[in-house]
């Protein structure tokens, strides 16, 4: 029996954060030897918001470089750009015809944008989950590494697959969400009740992979803490310190109990500095390798072209099977 298949992707709509690395990419690296992995830069999802075209291109290539710099081997993994594999868009349209309005109306991310009064409520934002379902089902993915906030999208992909399979016979593998136990949801340094995000309006709340050591140290020293002045993991009473303990645990491999013992009686100032230093050393080689890769655009172009070729080889059989089952005439 062959390896199980994993699909995951990140939008190039902002600079990758420490949360992106700990919550997603670091786990991808750990999975690459055990699974057949497709890691996509989902640039088609990115255009649901308005982007400066030059910035979108820059961030797309930076993200590709950061994937590789973080330890994803382009030979062992299929690393590619979503817009280079047209089968994503084709399958998305077909699956949209097997998605119910009630399902899309329940998607929390779209509801949040409506609630916040977004002035760009386009159809792409509404059908975004269908494209995500196509991303996953196109490759017969068994597992989808996601944060807790994305599990709903994997559930929709399963619902669509069950519906399609029920009508036409087995066509799609039913994917399962894969949520890491530690570090799956790193919170903002300035508002530990919210997720650290590429789109955070407060840049002090997010540590970016390409931040300098000085920038990282300053952000942690300004990070919101709690009144108790004890380094104890308690997300309810001490969300700020618990968030930093999660970061420190991910950067060092230490348990929460070990961290509490290490900083018993030392105060928040000492702890903040230690967390910052651990993050600086965690990100330093990634930042330096990213800079090196970006200086060789021909190498990166070779990676994304070969990745698209390999992805398309897997995507075409699924799409052709779908087209045949729904009654399209073959070429």
Fold of the domain spanning 5-179+296-326? Rossmann fold (3.40.50)
Domain coordinates of the chain in residue numbers?
Answer: 5-179+296-326, 203-291
The pLDDT confidence band at residue 1, using thresholds 50, 70 and 90, is low
Partners of 13 in the beta sheet?
A: none
Say which residue, 118 or 13, is predicted with more confidence: 13
Split at pLDDT 50, 70, 90, the class of 236 is confident
Q: pLDDT class for 184, splitting at 50, 70, 90?
A: low
Residue with tokens 């030897």: 33
Condensed to tens digits (0 to 9), the pLDDT of residues 149-164 reads 678 889 999 999 999 9
Average of pLDDT values for 227-247?
Answer: 88
pLDDT at 33: 84
- From residue 14, how far is each of 213, 276, 303, 311 by CA, in Å? 20, 22, 21, 24
Residue 7 CA to residue 140 CA, distance in Å, equals 9
The pLDDT confidence band at residue 294, using thresholds 50, 70 and 90, is: very high
Task: State phi, psi for 145 to the nearest 5 degrees.
Answer: -65, 120
Between these two residues, 235 and 119, which has the higher pLDDT value? 235
- For residue range 17-52, list pLDDT tens digits in order: 998 898 888 888 888 888 999 999 999 999 988 899
Q: What percent of the chain has pLDDT over 70?
A: 96
Q: pLDDT band for position 5 (50/70/90)?
A: very high
For residue 176, list its beta bridge partners. 143
Q: Supply the residues annotated as catalytic.
A: 113, 195, 198
5-179+296-326 against 203-291: fold identical: no
Two tokens, residue 225: 């803490």
Predicted local distance difference test score (pLDDT) of residue 121 = 81
Q: At what angle do helices 267-294 and 53-69 cross, to 10 degrees?
A: 100
CATH 1.10.760.10 fits 203-291, yes or no: no
Whether pLDDT at 234 is above 60? yes
Residue 278 pLDDT more than 80?
yes
**318 vs 170, 231, 266, 326, CA distance in Å?**
11, 51, 58, 13
pLDDT, residue 117, reads 67
pLDDT at 145 over 90: no
CA distance 35 to 54: 34
* pLDDT for the residue numbered 225: 84
Q: What is the pLDDT of residues 68-101, one digit of tens each?
A: 999 999 999 999 999 999 999 999 999 999 999 9
pLDDT grade for 111, boundaries at 50, 70 and 90: confident
């Amino acid at each position: 029996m062959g390896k199980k298949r994993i699909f995951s992707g990140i939008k190039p709509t902002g600079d990758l954060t420490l949360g992106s690395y700990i919550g997603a990419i670091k786990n991808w690296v750990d999975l690459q030897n055990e699974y057949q992995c497709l890691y996509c830069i989902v640039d088609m999802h990115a255009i649901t918001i308005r982007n400066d075209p030059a910035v979108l291109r820059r961030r797309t290539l930076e993200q590709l470089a950061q994937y590789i710099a973080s330890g994803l081997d382009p030979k062992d993994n299929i690393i590619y750009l979503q817009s280079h594999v047209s089968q994503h868009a084709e399958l998305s349209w077909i699956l949209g015809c097997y998605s119910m309005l009630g399902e899309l109306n329940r998607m929390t991310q779209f509801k949040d944008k409506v609630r916040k009064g977004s002035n760009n409520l386009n159809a792409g934002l509404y059908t975004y989950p269908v494209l995500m379902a196509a991303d996953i089902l196109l490759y017969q993915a068994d597992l989808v590494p996601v944060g807790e906030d994305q599990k709903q999208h994997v559930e929709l992909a399963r619902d669509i697959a069950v519906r399609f399979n029920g009508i036409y016979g087995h066509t799609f593998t039913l994917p399962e969400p894969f949520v890491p136990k530690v570090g799956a949801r790193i919170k903002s340094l300035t508002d530990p009740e919210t997720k650290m995000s590429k789109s955070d309006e407060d840049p002090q709340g997010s540590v970016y992979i390409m931040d300098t050591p000085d920038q990282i140290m300053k952000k942690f020293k300004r990070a919101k803490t709690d009144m108790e002045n004890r380094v104890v993991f308690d997300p309810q009473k001490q969300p700020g310190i618990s968030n930093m303990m999660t970061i420190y645990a991910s950067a060092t491999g230490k348990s929460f109990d070990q961290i509490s013992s290490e900083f018993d009686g030392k105060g928040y100032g000492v702890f903040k500095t230690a967390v910052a230093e651990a993050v600086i050393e965690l990100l330093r080689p990634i930042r330096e390798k990213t800079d090196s890769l970006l200086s060789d655009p021909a190498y990166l172009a070779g990676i994304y072209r070969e990745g698209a070729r390999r992805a398309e080889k897997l995507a075409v059989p699924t799409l052709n099977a779908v087209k045949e089952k729904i009654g399209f005439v073959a070429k």
